[in-house]
Amino acid sequence: MIPVVEQHHCSKRHRNSTYFARCAWPGASVTGRGQLAIVITCPDARVVLVERLRWAHTLLAEFNVFGCGPGCEGAHEIVAIDLDPDLPPFPAQRSPNPEERPR
């Protein structure tokens, strides 16, 4: 199981995982889209959003093998973002949208 992140730093309800990520991990650059996040808390903090767990694992493996940057400390993990509860849960529903690539 991957950890689910529900906590962020404001009282709004985020419907978009990009906004959620910016709120939950201030100072980290946020790229991609999707409800899974590779959270990098190395000195070069960033959050990479992806839609599919398979991509998340692929990216995480790349970060772990090659490092996320010059100051990499190996602090990378996959989390799921828990958005507004009236949105469909992940990963019960696959995106019907084929135009999705992790980068």
Binding site for Zn ion (CB under 5 A): 8, 10, 23, 42, 68, 72
Handedness of CA 67, 71, 77, 82 (dihedral sign): negative
CA distance 87 to 102: 21
For the bound state, the minimum distance from the C-beta of residue 31 to Zn ion, rounded and expressed in Å, comes to 15
Sequence-distant (6+) residues with CB within 8 A of 63 are 38, 40, 72, 76
Cβ closest to Zn ion, residue 4 vs residue 10: 10
Cβ closest to Zn ion, residue 46 vs residue 90: 46
For the bound state, the minimum distance from the C-beta of residue 89 to Zn ion, rounded and expressed in Å, comes to 19
Cβ closest to Zn ion, residue 57 vs residue 95: 57
For the bound state, the minimum distance from the C-beta of residue 69 to Zn ion, rounded and expressed in Å, comes to 6
Q: Which two tokens stand for residue 77?
A: 């993990």
Q: Is 19 helix (H, G, I), strand (E, B) or coil?
A: helix
Cβ closest to Zn ion, residue 42 vs residue 78: 42
User: How many CA atoms does the CB half-sphere of 1 hold within 13 Å?
Assistant: 3
For the bound state, the minimum distance from the C-beta of residue 51 to Zn ion, rounded and expressed in Å, comes to 21
